[in-house]
Amino acid sequence: MLDVTRLRVLVAVARHGSVTAAAHALNYAQPSVSHHLARLEAETGTKLVQRAGRGIRLTDAGRLLAERAVEVIGRLDAAENELAVFAGLRAGRLRLAAFPSALSTIVPAAAAILNERYPSVDLRLTEAEPQEAVRMLRAGYVDIALIFRHETADGGRAGARDALAALGRGGQGQDDEPVPAAEPDDLSEQVLLSEPVHLIMPDTGVCGGEPPLAPAVTELWPADLARLAEHRWIAGCDRCREHLLHQCASAGFTPRISFTTDDFVAAQALVTAGLGVTLLPGLALRAARNPGVRTARLRGTRRCVVAVRYGEPPDPPATAVLLEALRLAAAGGALSAGGASSVVGSALSVGSALSVGSALSAGGASSRAEAPSPDAAPVA
């Protein structure tokens, strides 16, 4: 069996590029690092490092083992934290990776719920697009990955799915009833929110000029996007760009993409400047709505916000609490001023609340925290 300490040494060498730098990062003596590498090569029966000038570099076998070691060490560290929570040895540490519009809306509301109910919980946040968030989850760097995918339906026929390659195939659903994607064996997921997608245009009443669509148009189908085929388009992240291309292809044209930005504030600013039109989901508008844009709901497609966890159920108490807070925040009912504690209390069963409380809380009274309720994204 491979020694975990030696795997940590190999990962440090791969990360820092030399024995000296790895020794400094690990607070080891340099001969100790060399000894661990030699012992690891003896255990595996494979050459893992080789001389390269005055330094060393990993062999192909060494790089492969280092990549796998990152995942193994991450899972061991996560297991250690979860066991400590179960044993009540310290307050829970929760780590969440989420995409930008969720970090601006759902996540702060969930953090307020946690802070009110379990003030001793240490919540750490990382901004990451879906594919990177899932990689972090698999490697044990986060407890929950908050991701999104687009669900498309056209007359009952499923369109191209925008599901994560790391998560497998997407689900098929109607416009207002998306179905979660198929789950790989080691990942489980829960759909927190299904939100509309909007066409974003300049509000000619504010910005002037000719409107791309008549002011009376408040919703449209993908085929109607053909009326905007001559306009310039603003694309978002890779996943959003794929969705935009699919919707425009359904309308029979290829969009002329003039700008690309994953900043939804910048995208709206470009629209108000008359530099193009774009598609944005409801959360982006809830996070920041530029008064110079008008929206029309795009029927036949929705975006799902999904919480992804690693491993078989049941979830550790800390993870279960974070998941419940995210669910309540996404539902919106827990966001009214002063209402987070009562909503969490009613949502959790008495038994689970007691077990989670004993694992996460030191038994003290929880502090009050208020989170304003974000307005629903309006439709022009």
Confidence of residue 96 (pLDDT cuts 50, 70, 90): very high
Long-range contacts of 359-364 (CB under 8 A, 24+ apart): 359/85, 359/86, 359/88, 359/92, 359/317, 359/318, 360/85, 360/91, 360/92, 360/118, 360/120, 360/121, 360/317, 360/318, 360/321, 361/91, 361/118, 361/120, 362/91, 362/120, 364/119, 364/120
Are 353 and 345 within 8 A, CB to CB? Answer: yes
Residue 167 in this model has a pLDDT that exceeds 60: no
Residue with the larger pLDDT of the pair 158 and 294: 294
Q: Counting Cβ atoms within 10 Å, is residue 175 exposed (0-12), middle (13-18) or buried (19+)?
A: middle
- Give the model confidence (pLDDT) of 246-289 as tens digits: 999 999 999 999 999 989 999 999 999 989 999 999 999 999 99
Q: Strand pairing of 219-220 and 232-235?
A: unpaired
**One domain for residues 110 and 74:** no
**One domain for residues 79 and 137:** no
Range of 55's domain? 4-84
**One domain for residues 270 and 364:** yes
**One domain for residues 57 and 105:** no
**One domain for residues 36 and 179:** no
**One domain for residues 191 and 328:** yes
**One domain for residues 63 and 128:** no
Identify the CATH number of the domain in which residue 277 sits: 3.40.190.290
- Give the model confidence (pLDDT) of 192-224 as tens digits: 999 999 999 998 766 666 778 888 888 999 899
Cβ contacts of 1 within 8 Å, gap of 6 or more: none
Amino acid 267: pLDDT: 94
What's the CA gap between 59 and 220, in Å, rounded?
56
Are 175 and 195 within 8 A, CB to CB? Answer: no
Amino acid 82: pLDDT: 65
Last residue of a domain, one of 50, 84, 118: 84
**One domain for residues 133 and 30:** no
Q: Strand pairing of 293-310 and 187-202?
A: antiparallel
Confidence of residue 319 (pLDDT cuts 50, 70, 90): confident
DSSP 158-217: E------GGG-PPP--BTTB--PPPPPTTEEEEEEEEEEEEEEEE-HHHH-S--SS-TT-
Last residue of a domain, one of 84, 118, 138: 84
Are 248 and 223 within 8 A, CB to CB? Answer: no
* Tokens encoding 219: 């919703």
Identify the CATH number of the domain in which residue 72 sits: 1.10.10.10
- Give the model confidence (pLDDT) of 26-52 as tens digits: 888 888 888 888 888 888 888 888 887
Dihedral, CA of residue 267, residue 270, residue 276 and residue 277, to nearest 10: 40
**One domain for residues 65 and 212:** no
What's the CA gap between 262 and 275, in Å, rounded?
16
**One domain for residues 133 and 22:** no
Amino acid 5: pLDDT: 86
**One domain for residues 104 and 65:** no
Residue 112 in this model has a pLDDT that exceeds 90: yes
**One domain for residues 56 and 192:** no
Last residue of a domain, one of 84, 103, 129: 84
* Tokens encoding 110: 């969930």
Domain count, the chain: 2
Cβ contacts of 342 within 8 Å, gap of 6 or more: none
Q: Strand pairing of 49-52 and 55-58?
A: antiparallel
Amino acid 91: pLDDT: 53
What's the CA gap between 182 and 191, in Å, rounded?
12
Residue 337 in this model has a pLDDT that exceeds 60: no
User: Among candidates 198, 224, 197, which has minimal Cα distance to 213?
Assistant: 224
Percent of the chain with pLDDT over 70: 74
